[in-house]
Amino acid sequence: MRGSGGGSPRNGARPLRTRRLGAYTAALILLGVTLVVACRAADTDAVTPVPQLLAFLPWLLVPTLLGLLLTLLTRWWPGLVWGAALLLALGWFIEPHGSGAEPAGTPLATFRVLTSNVEFGAGTPSLVPQIRRQRPDIVFVEECEYTCQATLEKEPGYPYRTAVVAGGSTGSLLLSRFPLRATDGVPGTMGMPGAVADVDGHAVRLQLAHPMPPLPGQVALWRRELGRLRDFAAADTTTPTVLAGDFNASQDHAAFRRILGAGRLRDGARLGGAGRTASWPAPTAAVFGAQIDHVLVSRDFSATGARFLRLSDTDHRALIVDITLHRQPHR
């Protein structure tokens, strides 16, 4: 005799299949996040898509939480432990990188630094009022083509400048209230001028940073140009140094951290209280983005008041930091 429960095995199989599908989905999500976190832990940028994903490492919390939710709904307990471990690892790495300790020496000079990528010069009209309002002493401008340079060179109060004069994204400009002696700069696909500034009688190395971005197919070039910035930082660790610009890299990229380590540099945004504030892409930076614009300073400097400024017609926020040069005990 066939009872009414004859179809129950099929009905019971459906929830089981759903749970398995949920567990498989959770496993795929957690595996993807694990690969990126493992590269971060191994201090490597690996290959595409890892460098691109590392820029947004804090946002990997979102898929990790989704994976955890699926493990709970499907009662996949090993996956729950896996996801919890990933959350702990992400929490560790999300902490801003680098020391925030103050230099011990006597303050010698305080000045303000601004860096801004104006996206092929289009953001120049909105940068000019900020320069007049914020009155930075040194200005680094990336993607400052012919019109941008012609405009900014008319700004009063900046009698000293050095530039790579070019169109498109290649042009770059360094403005200063302090006397400058131009240097060769760092070679790159896009312009990266350099100089030595006389800051109240103290020599300070200045270098604009603008390596190529880690687009698929040019990660090796990105890594090579960041390596040249690392070589610049390592070449002189005794002269006070400011290395600023659009690095196309965040603190979660190994190539960026090597610049810090080689030059004994610290991130001004980290010192100034904005260690994880996003600078790109500007339209979504308030809720989603990466900090790829930096002001790096040698250990001779302290930094305060770091803040990111929203400009029109550019995909980057400008960064402004007040830095103080200190006398070092060994000098």
Q: Model confidence over 236-285: pLDDT tens digits?
A: 999 999 999 999 999 999 999 999 999 999 999 999 999 899 999 999 99
Instruction: Look at the block and give the residue holding tokens 């471990």.
Output: 85
pLDDT reported for residue 2: 46
Domain 107-326 has CATH 3.40.50.2300: no
Instruction: State the average pLDDT for the chain.
Output: 94
C-alpha span between 281 and 291 (Å, rounded): 9
Q: Does the pLDDT of residue 3 top 50, yes or no?
A: no
**Strand, helix or coil for residue 34:** helix
pTM: 0.93
As a whole number, mean pLDDT of residues 68-78 equals 96
Q: Are 189 and 172 in contact, with CB atoms under 8 Å apart?
A: no
How is residue 136 written in tokens?
A: 């930075």
C-alpha span between 238 and 264 (Å, rounded): 10
Domain boundaries, the chain: 4-94, 107-326
Instruction: Look at the block and give the residue holding tokens 């830095």.
Output: 323
Task: List the strands of the sheet with 301-309, edge to edge.
Answer: 160-164, 172-176, 138-142, 107-117, 318-326, 301-309
Q: In which region does residue 54 sit, left (phi positive, over 0), alpha (psi from -120 to 50) or beta (all else)?
A: alpha
